[in-house]
Amino acid sequence: MNDNISILGGGSWGCALASMLSKEGKDVTLWVRSHSQYEEIAKRRTNSKYLPGVSIPDSLKVTDDLEEAVKNCDIITIAIPTNNIRELLTDLKPIVKENQILVNLAKGIEENTDLRISEICNQILPDNRYCVISGPSHAEEVVKNIPTAVVCASVDNKVAEYVQDIFTTSSFRIYTNQDLIGVELGGALKNIIALGAGISDGVGFGDNTKAALMTRGLYEMAKLGAAMGANPDTFSGLAGVGDLIVTCTSMHSRNRKAGILIGQGYSLEDATNKVGMVVEGVKTTKAAYHLSNKLNIEMPITNEIYSILYLGADVKSSSARLMGRDMKYEIDILEFYKD
């Protein structure tokens, strides 16, 4: 293999990773759907909407032709919102080769189907090997070579190790993990809790509240993960608690930003419009709510965030319901092993 990398998606994360790898001397092509964005990157070497103030290296190739982007690459990296992935994979199907590895960067669960991204890929491109990169990795920091550690997961450890070798740099460290389900769910579910942390900040609650939301939210994430076949220990790693910390505490986080606005009284629509980019946690909240009901997993924080987002529940009433729940043990190990 020549280790040619195609990154599909010109948002902040896709562009940041493409820029970082290109600066490291990798052969990288960035595909963007918008012709105007293509022209900006190609001619001015900027991406003003998604990475303002960042200079994109001249060595990074850019195209708005999907076939051109993937025809000679070894690794196809998916860096678009979760609910656009099915359409993209369908477009790729006639042109992708079986030996090309799929690397997913998105963190979500598909709306209406409640499928993880690996499951969508398996439906459309079942012959291509797949892995996911997840963990605490704000694009705004990665593109500046600020030290970052993430995890790469695949059911085929050789694939994870290959991607680990190709994508690791002096400032971007990758660990491997064979718990694909847990890593995918960790990246998706933490966005729900980040919305809750933002709502808590927006309504004026304090650090105690946020710490409780994060800790009990992590417990909910691990419970649902275990019920879906994940290793609960994965949620103690980079794709779980690591990503949860950064997403709940940083103003780089779209989910936290949207939550703050909702806590301040903005509608869901107005809050997401003001953020200006896709807030993955919104649709993932709906998917997790459906999955928890289907699997009979108690997720009170997720339920209340769902009620706030989709049923118009009052934030302080939701808080009162959470605080007024029946007394219980902090951790019930049996909850991880429901029949």
Burial 168-182 (b: 16+ CB within 10 A, else e): ebeebbbbbbebbbb
3-state secondary structure of 106: coil
Cβ–Cβ under 8 Å, residues 188 and 107 = yes
Q: Which of 158, 152, 209, 197 is nearest to 177 (CA)?
A: 152
> Cα(283)–Cα(279) distance, rounded to whole angstroms?
8
- State both tokens at 294: 């289907």
3-state secondary structure of 120: helix
Beta bridge partners of 159: none
Phi then psi for residue 63, to 5 deg, are -150, 155
Cβ–Cβ under 8 Å, residues 285 and 192 = yes
The catalytic position among 190, 210, 257, 286 is 190
Instruction: Assess whether 190 carries a catalytic annotation.
Output: yes
Q: 174 CB contacts (<8 Å, ≥6 apart)?
A: 133, 149, 150, 151, 152, 163, 164, 167, 168
Cβ–Cβ under 8 Å, residues 301 and 319 = no
Beta bridge partners of 177: 153
Which positions are annotated as active-site residues? 190
